[in-house]
């Protein structure tokens, strides 16, 4: 995998969800590597798409504002060589209050994309953004890819389906598809306007503003975290090699960290803010998974990936970014 970054020079690459958090960071890196990048995003409210995420890259990344749920995808996939499929709805809370929208975005849209690839560009390499949420409450730790899939919310169910569609299209039609099961990703360009897309972005917002961070429960829940640059590197590796075809890979952080320790670190780095422990709201408690950290040995062995940005360093970069650009995200 020593030349996986060189693989992208001059290649045509399509990124769905390209104006979102991970998608925009991926687009920027691809453009830096010399790829011809097309970012597709619906810019639906509250889902994280933000034109500022590609500021400075307007002449290097083509942007197409479009909904992937429709026949337009058949045109967009033509001539592309790699598709990074990050279009999706990631809010666990929203999936419980509006399950049909979650179904549309995380299932129906995936079929539109895959059918477009099958009919118009069956040689296209596809890497799907999966999630650790599909495992539900861990039965053992660290969680490997063979763990039972028992999600605690509608989003987890629909993300399983989205991933399985990709794997079925690989096994039946030969599409070169794979999936990365992401854990808690954080970093610049993340949506931090509300708290429905994961806790870490919301914690970062509170720290930047010097406000009180509320931690549900006793704060001892352990999670693993990946800085967005490391996640982008995993996508690049998966997209550049045939050994990922038909495979699923966990991503995982260096070491599990309790939410209490995470918040203490954030407050220390920000030099402001505070925290308090509060009881779980019932709607959150019902879908909480407790401790979770992943076994990422498969992707390490197959693709040579491992996280390189330590948690403190990543949080320092993140805080600095939002301090500089907070008016674009708050």
pLDDT digits (tens, 9 = 90+) for 289-312: 889 999 999 999 999 999 999 999
pLDDT cut 90: percent of the chain above it: 80
CB 139 within 8 A of CB 292: no
Q: Is the pLDDT of residue 1 over 60?
A: no
Q: Using CA atoms, how far apart are residues 189 and 187, in angstroms rounded to an integer?
A: 7
Report, as an integer, the average pLDDT of 226-245.
Answer: 98
Q: How confident is the model at residue 140 (pLDDT cuts 50, 70, 90)?
A: very high
Where do the structural domains in the chain lie, given as residue ranges?
6-189+225-253+292-308
Q: Is the pLDDT of residue 154 over 80?
A: yes
Beta bridge mates, 186: 227
pLDDT value of residue 105:
83
Residue that wins the pLDDT comparison between 187 and 198: 187
**Comparison of pLDDT for 56 and 254, the residue scoring more:** 56
pLDDT digits (tens, 9 = 90+) for 7-34: 999 999 999 999 999 999 999 999 999 9
Note the pTM of the prediction, 2 decimals: 0.95
Instruction: Give per-residue pLDDT as tens, 99-117.
Output: 888 888 889 999 999 999 9
Dihedral angle sign, alpha carbons of residues 52, 57, 59, 62: negative
Q: Show the CA angle centred on residue 47, arms to residues 193 and 285, nearest 5°.
A: 75
Q: DSSP letter at 224? A: -
Furthest CA-CA distance within the chain: 54
Res 2: pLDDT: 59
What does the alpha-carbon distance between residue 4 and residue 236 come to, in Å, rounded to a whole number? 7
CATH class of residue range 6-189+225-253+292-308: alpha beta
pLDDT tier at 197, thresholds 50, 70, 90: low
Residue 231 has pLDDT above 90, yes or no: yes
Q: Does residue 299 contact residue 234 with C-beta atoms inside 8 Å?
A: yes
Angle at 105 between CA 203 and CA 92, to 5 degrees: 35
Banded model confidence at residue 91, pLDDT cuts 50, 70, 90: confident
pLDDT interval class at 282 (50, 70, 90): confident
For residue 92, what pLDDT band results from cuts at 50, 70 and 90? low
Q: Examine the pLDDT at 287 and tell me if it is beyond 80.
A: no
In the chain, % of residues over pLDDT 70: 98
What tokens does 12 get?
């045509």
pLDDT confidence tier of residue 324, bands split at 50, 70 and 90: very high
Q: Is the pLDDT at 89 greater than 80, yes or no?
A: no
Mean pLDDT for 130-157 is: 94
């Amino acid at each position: 995998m020593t030349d996986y970054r060189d693989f992208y020079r001059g290649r045509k690459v399509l990124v769905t969800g390209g104006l979102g958090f991970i998608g925009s960071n991926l687009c920027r890196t691809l453009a830096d590597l010399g790829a011809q990048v097309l970012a597709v995003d619906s810019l639906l409210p509250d889902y994280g798409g933000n034109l500022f995420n590609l500021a400075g890259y307007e002449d290097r990344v083509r942007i197409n504002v479009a909904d992937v749920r429709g026949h337009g995808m058949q045109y967009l996939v033509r001539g592309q060589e790699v598709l990074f499929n990050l279009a999706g709805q990631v809010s666990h809370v929203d999936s419980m209050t509006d399950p049909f929208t979650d179904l549309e975005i995380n299932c129906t849209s995936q079929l539109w994309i895959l059918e477009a690839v099958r009919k118009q560009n069956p040689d296209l390499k596809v890497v799907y953004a999966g999630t650790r949420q599909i495992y539900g409450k861990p039965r053992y730790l660290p969680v490997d890819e063979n763990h039972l899939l028992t999600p605690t919310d509608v989003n987890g169910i629909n993300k399983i389906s989205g991933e399985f569609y990709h794997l079925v299209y690989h096994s039946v039609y030969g599409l070169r598809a794979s999936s990365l099961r992401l854990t808690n990703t954080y970093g610049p360009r993340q949506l931090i306007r509300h708290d429905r897309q994961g806790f870490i972005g919301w914690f970062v917002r509170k720290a930047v503003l010097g406000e009180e961070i509320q931690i549900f429960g006793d704060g001892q829940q352990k999670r693993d975290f990946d800085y967005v640059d490391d996640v982008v590197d995993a996508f690049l590796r998966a997209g550049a090699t045939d050994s990922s075809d038909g495979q699923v890979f966990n991503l995982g952080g260096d070491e599990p960290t309790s939410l209490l320790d995470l918040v203490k670190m954030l407050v220390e780095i920000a030099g402001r803010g505070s925290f308090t422990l509060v009881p779980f709201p019932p709607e959150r408690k019902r879908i909480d998974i407790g401790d979770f950290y992943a076994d990422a040995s498969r992707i390490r062995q197959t693709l040579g990936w491992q996280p390189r940005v330590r948690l403190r360093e990543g949080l320092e970069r993140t805080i600095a970014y939002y301090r500089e650009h907070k008016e674009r995200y708050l």
